[in-house]
Amino acid sequence: MKMSKMYIRTLREAPAEAVLPSHIYMLRAGMIRKLVSGVYGYMPLGYRVLRKIENIVREEMDAEGGQEILMSALQPAELWEESGRWSAYGPEMWRVNDRNDREFCLGPTHEEIFTDIIRKEVSSHRQLPVILYQIQTKYRDEARPRFGLMRSREFIMKDAYSFDKDEAGLDESYKKMYDAYGRIFTRCGLDFRPVEADNGAIGGSGSHEFTALADNGESSIAYCEACNMAATDESAVCKDAEPSDEVMLPMEEVFTPGTKTIDAVAEYLGMDKKQTIKALLYETYDDDMKVNGYVAAFVRGDREVNELKLANVLGVAEYAIAFADESKMAEITGCVGGFTGPRGLKNCKVVVDSELTGLKNLCAGANKADHHIKNLNYERDYTADIAANIKMIKEGDPCPVCGAPVKMTRGIEVGQVFKLGTKYSKPMGAVYKDQNMKEHDIVMGCYGVGVSRTFAAVVEQHHDDDGIIWPPAVAPYHVIITVVKANDDVQMSLAEKMEAELAKQGIEVMLDDRDERPGVKFKDADLIGIPVRITVGKRAPEGIVEYKLRKESEKTELTADEAVKSAIEFIMQEINVR
C-alpha cells in the first residue's frame, strides 16, 4: 500500500506520561491513541499487529481442538451471585445498571458465563471434553492504569475454558493449553518463561503464568538454576530460617532515640538486622471499602511481607487490605509509628511470620516512642493470632525445591493458565451423567492470554533507540520500499514492480511514496519498525537498490530481483518458526 494514501501519523515526541519504551513507541509510531486513562484505540498499523497476534492465538487454540465463540462483555449480576463473586470481586469490577435498575457488569473475565452455557447444554459424558474460547474485550477498573496497553482498563483477552469429566481429563486439557501458550509466545517472538503462580481471585488448585522477560515488567520471578524451579515471587515459598537453640535471655527494654527504621535500630544497637523484627501495619475493608479492622504483621528485620500470602492467611481479598493510616491505628491498637512490636498490641490481628516462632532473643519495637525491647521470644513474651509463612522470597534465599540460592528477574505477565476443578461447576450446578447415569460435577480449567498486553510486551522486548523492531510474524507490514524521489518515474516504476512481485508471494508491502526528505522517510521506517527496508534511489536506472534489515545496521546493494528474493526468503523463514 502507498504510504501517501495511508492513515498514519508519527510523532516526534510522546506525551510525558509515557515512560516505558513500548508505550512511547506505540504512541509515536501512530499505532495506538489514548481516549481516557487506560482506554486506547488502535490505529491502522496497530490494528494490523493486534490482528496478527489474535490470529496466532486463534491458530494455536484451534490446533488443540479449541472452538471459538464470542460472548457479550455485558454480564448479568445474577450469574456472579451464584458463584459468590459479585461481592468478592471488588472495585476492579465495572458495574452498570440498566434503565430498570437491573445490575450488570462489563466482564473482567468470563468463568460464570461459559459455565452457564455449558450447564444448560451439556448433560452427558459423551459431550465432554470441550474447550471453548473467545477473543474479546475485557473491562477492569484498575486502581492504577498505566504503561499504555500493558495495564489498561479496557483490554483484549483470549480466554479459554475447558470442561472435563475428571481431574485426569483436566490435566490433559491443561497440558494442551500450556503447550499452545508456549507456541503462541514463541511465534510472537517473545523471550518468556512459564512460572508457577498463585490462583488469586480466580480460585482453583494449580496455575502457571507465562512471563515475558523485561526489566520494566511488573511481575517478579524467583528461579533456580540448579533445579529449574520458577515461580512468581508471590507464589514462591520462602523457607523459614533454621530454628535457633540459643538460651533465652531476659527481656530488656532499651532506649533507642529516633531509630524508626530497621537499619537505624540495628546500627544503633550494633546488631544484625536478622536479629530484629520488622512491623508492617495494615487496615482491612468491608464491601463498601470502609475500614473494618487492623492488622500488625511481623517478619524478620531483613525480610519483606508477601501481601498476597498475608491476605490469604487472613482470608481477605487482595483489594480489601492496604497499609494503615498509622495515626488512626495507633489510637485504637496502641502501636507507635517506627516503634511497633508484637508485644502488647490490642484491638488488632497480630500476624507473625512462621520463622519468628523458632528464632530467639530478637529485638522489636516496644510500642513506646524511642524504645525497643531486646531478647524477645515467641510464646514466652508474645503470641500471635496467626503464625504463618507470610514472607517474600528474595535473591539468594534457598530454593524451596532444592535449597540452592534463588535468582530473581522481572517480567510481564502475558498469560495465565488455571486448574479450576469444580470451583464454578459446583455452585452453579454444571453437571454431567456418566454411563451409569450417575451425576458428577464438570471439572474445569481456564486459560487467558492478554492479547493487547502481548502487543506491548513484544515492543518492550524488540526496540532500539530509533523505534520498534518487529518480529516479522507480528509486523504490521513485512517490507517497506522507500522511494527516495517519489516524483522520479524510473524510481517509482521499479518500486511498484517490486511491490507487485512481493505481494504475489504474500509479502505485505508499504511503499513510501511521500513527498518527504529521505531522512524523514528512513526515520519513520525505523520508528514503525518494518523488518525489511528496500530503498530505491539514484541507481534505479541500473536496477540496483539498497537492502537493509531493521535489526541490522548493514546495508547492501542488490539488484531489484535479488532484493525481492532475499526479502521473501527472510520473511518466510522468520514467520515459520513454530
Which three-class secondary structure state does DSSP give residue 407?
A: strand
If one counts every other C-beta atom within 10 angstroms of the C-beta of residue 399, the result is: 23
CA–CA dist 237, 510 (Å, integer): 51
**Smaller CB separation from ligand ATP, 414 or 571:** 414
Nearer to ligand ATP, 207 or 256 (CB): 207
Query: Cα dist. 426→112, 117, 369, 402, 411 in Å?
Result: 12, 14, 53, 37, 35
- For the CB of residue 98, give the shortest distance to Mg ion in the complex, in Å: 30
* CB-closest chain residue to Mg ion: 416
Q: How far is the CB of 362 from ligand ATP (least distance, A)?
A: 34
Q: Which cell numbers in the block locate residue 253?
A: 527494654
Report the partner that residue 155 touches, choosing among ligand ATP, Mg ion, none (CB closer than 5 to 8 A by kind): ligand ATP
Q: Name which of ligand ATP, Mg ion, none residue 142 binds, using a CB cut-off of 5 to 8 Å depending on partner kind.
A: ligand ATP
Nearer to ligand ATP, 151 or 514 (CB): 151
Which residue's CB atom is positioned nearest to ligand ATP?
450
Instruction: For cell 445474577, name the residue.
Output: 78
Strand order in the sheet with 362-365: 252-255, 371-376, 362-365
CB of 202 to Mg ion, least distance (A): 8
Cell numbers found for residue 466: 530509533
Q: Min. distance of Cβ 475 from Mg ion in angstroms?
A: 27
What 3-state DSSP class applies to 147? coil
Distances (CA, A) of 400 to 277, 346, 389, 443: 23, 35, 13, 29
Binding partner of residue 277 among ligand ATP, Mg ion, none, CB cut-off 5 to 8 Å per kind:
none
Q: Name the amino acid, one letter, at 5.
A: K
From the CB of 66, what's the least distance to ligand ATP, in Å? 16
When the beta carbons of 111 and 353 are compared against ligand ATP, the nearer one is: 111
How many of the chain's residues bind Mg ion (CB under 5 A)? 1
Q: Which residue has the cell 453437571?
A: 431
Q: Residue 508 to residues 328, 439, 532: CA-CA distances in angstroms?
A: 63, 54, 11
Q: Is the dihedral of CA 357, 361, 365, 366 positive or negative?
A: positive
Question: What residue 109 binds from ligand ATP, Mg ion, none (CB within 5 to 8 A, per partner kind)?
Answer: ligand ATP
Which span sits near Mg ion by CB under 5 A: 147-155, 255-263, 409-417, 516-524? 409-417
CA distance 486 to 475: 24
The listed partner (ligand ATP, Mg ion, none) that binds 525, CB under 5 to 8 Å by sort, is none
For residue 145, the tally of other CB atoms under 10 A from its CB is: 19
- Closest separation in Å from C-beta 5 to ligand ATP: 32
145 vs 471, which CB is nearer to ligand ATP? Answer: 145
Residue position matching grid coordinates 490446533: 63
Where along the sequence are the contacts to ligand ATP (CB under 6 A)? 109, 140, 142, 151-152, 155, 157, 200, 413-416, 448, 450, 452-453
**416 scored as a contact of Mg ion (CB under 5 A):** yes
The footprint of Mg ion (CB under 5 A) covers: 416
